[in-house]
Chain A
Amino acid sequence: MLSKYGFIGILAVVAFGFPVLGLVVAWLLSPKKPNPIKQSTYECGVETIGDTWVQFRAQYYLFALVFVVFDIETVFLYPWAVAYGQLGLFALVEAALFVLILFAGLVYAWRKGALEWQ
């Protein structure tokens, strides 16, 4: 088992090193002639007005919050799915209750309008 993770370790080094190598080669080959106009923020030729990092609509964060709930649910369900064959009927009832509670949460968010995009 441990030697399998040895392979993953070597893969990780290569997966990180390969894009770095590409950037280094590009840095060696590419011309470097910076000027203020070239480096200005791209906005189809129009000069950009104001700060970029402005306050943003809360809608995006609502979805992120709902996501956290469901993502943790799936993390709990994966070990359940693997062990399901060896478990008795109580595993089914337990998981069904777990999923139904979350389903109720989804319905609640839906009724509250958290899933509507205005």
Chain B
Amino acid sequence: MHFVSDLFRNIGLWFHGWLSGLLPGWAVTLIEYVLGVLILLTGALVTVLLLIWVERKIISRLQDRIGPNRVGPWGLLQTVADALKLLTKEDIIPEGAEKVSFNLAPILVVFPTIMVLGVIPFSRGIIGADLNIGVLYIVALGSIGVMATLMAGWSSNNKYALLGGFRVVAQLLSYEVPMVLAMLSAVLLAGTMSMQGLVEAQGGGFLNIPYWRIFVIPLGFLIYFIAALAELERTPFDLLEAESEIVAGFFIEYSGMKFAWFFLASYINTILLGAIAATLFLGGWQGPFVEHVPVLGVFYFAGKTLLMTILIFWIRGTFPRLRIDQLMGLAWKILVPLALIVLLLVAIVIKLPVPPLARQAVLFVSNIILLLGALGYIGRHLRLTAERQKLGGRL
């Protein structure tokens, strides 16, 4: 019973003990690290294969279709078939393309997504490397992805691709600011940047639930979610690959396996959004009875990640695309000021000489008031704009 209650970690410990009897210390560490990396990579790939199927099924149902149902049971192997097809497709390099950056871009776009997997905490003691700069590491790697997409757009020698590339710079840079500021609020509350430390700080209370950051700074969570959705380049923020305007944006000229890498990176990023949101704001692996039965943590974490991912798919099936002026306005005029206010609010409330639960109540209530105020402001602005348009005059 004790073995099962912390199953995954005990398997690891047993494996470590078995290996230590056979090999010297450094070889054991090396083998464990290589195995860990391969498990992370394989896990991510299998999850992506399943998630693409899940997304296609969900979108189909939302659009009153059946979706893939021919390859394998319930169409489960559709993605495998697609991957094999892409693997055997001809790789077309358009004339006049900058060969070096054209070929490097798909590699650099996959690289950061796999790197970030290394600091995702799956359960207590189950993490690739619990760096003490975990959050900063994630933010830093995110910038490599921006660079790679710009490289792809610039080097393709195609006007659609260039336009997509420029939109990437404008959108991803703008939304990085509120996203990073919202993550900063969570870091400030926990006083650490280590991913495990952030999860540990959200434990305690009734069934390990009340200190989840979504119940402390709901507005911070909302800002993070919107900004991260824009960073993902997904509906309703998919201007930079808008099919109906610029065909596919920055990866229009890519075919075969290079296209597949852009696709894969986009899906790993979707999972990572769910995982990081779960870690920073939804309590990570914290949940009822996790201190007695640690194996539950893995399932709590996976469940929260999956929930966030399905929410993203649902949004894709529901919302229309934003216009570019609305997009930039939302980032700079609403999300950035709000994120700064939430940050200052957290900084002030932490220093208040009152018990933790009172602090939490103050933060929660003020967050809700701020959110309602912001919604009221946006609603008024939209109503005024609509009236102006009805009058037909400019201002």
A: residues with CB less than 8 A from B are 1, 3-8, 10-12, 14-16, 18-20, 22-23, 25-27, 29-34, 36, 38-44, 48, 52-53, 56, 59-60, 63-64, 66-67, 70-71, 74, 77-78, 81-82, 84-85, 89, 92, 95-96, 99, 102-103, 106, 109-110, 115-117
The complex places the Cα of A3 from the Cα of B25 at a distance, in Å, of 12
Once the chains bind, are B94 and A63 in contact (CB under 8 Å)? no
Given the known interface contacts A78-B135, A78-B193, A103-B337, the answer about A18 and B91 at a Cβ–Cβ threshold of 8 Å is no
Contact pick for A110, options B139, B166, B333, CB 8 Å:
B333
Closest chain-A Cβ to B109's Cβ sits at a distance in Å of 8
Chain B 174-218: CB-based contact to A (< 8 A → 1; otherwise 0): 101100110010011001110000000000000000000000000
Once the chains bind, are A7 and B173 in contact (CB under 8 Å)? no
Once the chains bind, are B347 and A41 in contact (CB under 8 Å)? no
What secondary structure prevails in chain B residues at the interface with A?
Answer: helix
The complex places the Cα of A34 from the Cα of B107 at a distance, in Å, of 23
20 contacts between A and B (CB under 8 A): A11-B117, A11-B129, A15-B112, A19-B106, A25-B257, A41-B94, A42-B247, A43-B158, A52-B96, A59-B170, A70-B177, A70-B336, A78-B136, A81-B193, A84-B191, A92-B348, A96-B344, A99-B343, A106-B332, A106-B336
Once the chains bind, are A43 and B193 in contact (CB under 8 Å)? no
Once the chains bind, are A71 and B177 in contact (CB under 8 Å)? yes
Contact pick for B128, options A7, A48, A66, CB 8 Å:
A7
Closest chain-A Cβ to B259's Cβ sits at a distance in Å of 10
Chain B 92-126: CB-based contact to A (< 8 A → 1; otherwise 0): 11111000000100110011101101100000000
Once the chains bind, are A10 and B91 in contact (CB under 8 Å)? no
B: residues with CB less than 8 A from A are 29, 33-34, 36-38, 40-41, 86-96, 103, 106-107, 110-112, 114-115, 117-118, 128-132, 135-136, 139, 154, 157-160, 162, 166, 169-170, 173-174, 176-177, 180-181, 184, 187-188, 191-193, 247, 252-253, 256-258, 260-261, 324-325, 328-329, 332-333, 336-337, 340, 343-344, 347-348, 350-351
Once the chains bind, are B94 and A52 in contact (CB under 8 Å)? no
Chain A contacts for B89, CB-based, 8 A: 26, 30
Once the chains bind, are A19 and B110 in contact (CB under 8 Å)? yes
Given the known interface contacts A53-B162, A67-B177, the answer about A19 and B111 at a Cβ–Cβ threshold of 8 Å is yes
Given the known interface contacts A33-B90, A103-B337, the answer about A20 and B33 at a Cβ–Cβ threshold of 8 Å is no
The complex places the Cα of A6 from the Cα of B34 at a distance, in Å, of 10
Name B91's closest neighbour in chain A (CB-CB).
A30
Once the chains bind, are A117 and B344 in contact (CB under 8 Å)? no
Once the chains bind, are B257 and A43 in contact (CB under 8 Å)? no
Once the chains bind, are A14 and B157 in contact (CB under 8 Å)? no
Name A59's closest neighbour in chain B (CB-CB).
B170
Given the known interface contacts A60-B169, A117-B329, the answer about A29 and B87 at a Cβ–Cβ threshold of 8 Å is yes
Chain B contacts for A12, CB-based, 8 A: 111, 115
Chain B contacts for A56, CB-based, 8 A: 162, 166
The complex places the Cα of A52 from the Cα of B36 at a distance, in Å, of 45
Once the chains bind, are A84 and B350 in contact (CB under 8 Å)? yes
Once the chains bind, are A52 and B40 in contact (CB under 8 Å)? no
Once the chains bind, are A8 and B118 in contact (CB under 8 Å)? yes
Given the known interface contacts A11-B40, A84-B188, the answer about A60 and B114 at a Cβ–Cβ threshold of 8 Å is no
Once the chains bind, are A15 and B115 in contact (CB under 8 Å)? yes
Chain B contacts for A78, CB-based, 8 A: 135-136, 184, 187, 193
Once the chains bind, are B107 and A19 in contact (CB under 8 Å)? yes
Chain B contacts for A70, CB-based, 8 A: 177, 336
Once the chains bind, are B332 and A30 in contact (CB under 8 Å)? no
Once the chains bind, are A42 and B252 in contact (CB under 8 Å)? yes
Name A48's closest neighbour in chain B (CB-CB).
B159
Given the known interface contacts A84-B188, A115-B333, the answer about A23 and B160 at a Cβ–Cβ threshold of 8 Å is no
